[in-house]
Amino acid sequence: MATLAYDCWLQCARGCDGRYPVTQVIYQCPKCGGLLEVQHDMAALKQHSGAEWRALFEGRTRTNQWPYGSGVWGKKEWVLPALDDDHIVSMYEGHTNLFWAQRLGTELGVEDLWVKLCGNSHTGSFKDLGMTVLVSAVNQMIASGSSVRAVACASTGDTSAALAAYGAAAGIPTIVFLPRDKVSPAQLIQPIANGALVLALDTDFDGCMALVKEVTQDNSIYLANSMNSLRIEGQKTVGIEIVQQFDWQVPDWIIIPVGNLGNISALGKGLLMMHELGLIDRLPALVAAQAERANPFYRSYQRGFESLEPMHAGETVATAIQIGNPVSYERAVKVMRRFEGCVEQASEDEIAEATARADLTGMYTCPHTGVALAALFKLIDRGQVKPSDRVVVISTAHGLKFSPFKIAYHENRLPGIQARRPNPPVQLPAEAGAVRDAVQRFLDSRA
Ligand SMILES: *Cc1c(COP(=O)(O)O)cnc(C)c1O
Ligand SMILES: [Zn+2]
């Protein structure tokens, strides 16, 4: 494939005119205050056929040719073509495995069930996909003399872990704003270990978000939250990867847990771009899954996406999506209107049982993946998902980041939840007779 000059820029997602370089410190439209989005020069990209793009992406998959072996940078022309390869900060994110959930699928009567394990990544969540793009752009800004001195974000745990890791890899000072006692120990120790300034604040995510916005107003600290549209460009590769992993066949359903709504916006953007550029000829149905206690998107969907009513997000085991005022609401509505599908919600009990049930078939699911699975169970019960449908559940984080939740479940001490599948360790004296009895009871219960 001949190398063409590709271009992209920031523009208002609501349609005001004005174009801004992707390396400018700007997060919102100066005219209307709405979010910006990265717009690619689609005419230039269209000079290649869908088949040519497929072959290019396929040929780069997992190679060691810097940085194209990364799942994100293998699609660099579609992500941020203007970055110098030397400024890219990558941990070879992406290309996570798409797991055939055969046993769970058989139980559910939907045999073609797959789980995209985005948590099998450098910092254990899909947030790496977006952070490689944002930190690479900042790295290029600093190299070309920008006054940016540091990067910062508010986080429910996974964004800060990703930012701290990529920031440390680039040598860029990183500041993270976390709601105190609301992130898991694994999520807290990641930015600590990576040398970030970790601010544990006496508020929730929405409170952290308000503070980080205020502190980053002078433009010397670059804001890495998902209002920043550069992250979307990396996160959008997840949909492209899923389709590629099915030999460029489009699944019937993709189900994803949502909070701030950047991820669903990105998933939709990637799929729409593939469609427009001729890599695929149809679109999957998308399901956005929320925790009932933090469900502003679900409520808005119930009213035909008439408006967003920000809410106080209640405590949920799905801590990474405990968000009451989602930043990317408008982006996500735009996406949902282009796809078939729906928004679903799950109660705390449904989330906990969905994770426990999936784990019994060999997975180790985080609570957010549990939200998506619980949504799937409902769609199957209602007959919306058919037995012959191909379904992909996006697992957004690694279960190992959320072991305290799993321990509490199996010790049956999750507040308000009666565990139906607890499997606590059997405490025994070190005697062969007692052990033999316990083994016998276990085998009888499984017979
Ligand atoms: C961030 C996150 C989500 C939600 O993504 P949004 O872009 O905020 O909607 C879901 N699951 C996990 C594990 C996350 O870290
Ligand atoms: Zn505008």
User: How far, in Å, from the CA of 330 to the mean position of ligand 2?
Assistant: 12
- 338 in Cβ contact with 282 (< 8 Å): no
Residue 16 lies in a domain: no
Number of domains in the chain: 1
> Which protein residues have their CB within 5 A of the ion that is ligand 2?
12, 14, 16, 29, 31-32, 34
User: How far, in Å, from the CA of 242 to the mean position of ligand 2?
Assistant: 33
What atom of ligand 1 comes closest to residue 260's alpha carbon? 8
Q: How many Cβ atoms are within 10 Å of 278's Cβ, its own excluded? A: 15
What atom of ligand 1 comes closest to residue 259's alpha carbon? 9
In the predicted model, what is the mean pLDDT of residues 429-445? Answer: 97
CA distance 111 to 95: 23
Q: Indicate if the pLDDT at residue 87 is higher than 70.
A: yes
User: How far, in Å, from the CA of 434 to the mean position of ligand 1?
Assistant: 45
Residue 309 lies in a domain: yes
| pTM, rounded to two decimals | 0.96
For residue 1, the model assigns a pLDDT of: 60
Which ligand sits nearest to residue 11's alpha carbon?
A: 2
Q: How far is CA 74 from the centre of its chain?
A: 19
What atom of ligand 1 comes closest to residue 257's alpha carbon? 10
List, for residues 165-217, the tens digit of each pLDDT value.
999 999 999 999 999 988 889 999 999 999 999 999 999 888 999 999 999 98
Q: Indicate if the pLDDT at residue 3 is higher than 60.
A: no
Task: Give the CATH number of the domain where residue 252 resides.
Answer: 3.40.50.1100
Residue nearest to atom 1 of ligand 1 (CA): 320
Residue 81 lies in a domain: no
Residue 378 lies in a domain: yes
Residue 335: which domain range? 98-123+232-410
Q: Indicate if the pLDDT at residue 4 is higher than 90.
A: no
CA distance 232 to 408: 34
**Strand-pair partners of 344:** 289
Lowest mean pLDDT across 73-82, 225-234, 242-251, 435-444: 225-234
- 322 in Cβ contact with 156 (< 8 Å): yes
Q: What are phi and psi of 383, to 5 degrees?
A: 80, 10
* Residue 116 DSSP one-character state: E
- 301 in Cβ contact with 345 (< 8 Å): no
In the predicted model, what is the mean pLDDT of residues 337-347? Answer: 98
CA distance 292 to 354: 14
pLDDT bin (cut points 50, 70, 90) of residue 227 is: confident
Which ligand sits nearest to residue 35's alpha carbon?
A: 2
Residue 368 lies in a domain: yes
In the predicted model, what is the mean pLDDT of residues 314-328? Answer: 94
Residue 204 lies in a domain: no
Tokens for 315, please give them.
């405590």
Residue 210 lies in a domain: no
User: How far, in Å, from the CA of 193 to the mean position of ligand 1?
Assistant: 22
Report residues whose beta carbon is within 6 angstroms of any ligand 1 atom: 125, 127, 158, 226, 257-263, 320-321, 366, 368, 396-397
User: How far, in Å, from the CA of 276 to the mean position of ligand 1?
Assistant: 26
Q: 432, 433, 409, 434: which is closest to 422 by C-alpha?
A: 409
Binning the chain into helix, strand and coil, the percentages to the nearest 5 are 40, 15, 45
In the predicted model, what is the mean pLDDT of residues 258-279? Answer: 98
User: How far, in Å, from the CA of 160 to the mean position of ligand 1?
Assistant: 12
Residue 208 lies in a domain: no
* Residue 214 DSSP one-character state: H
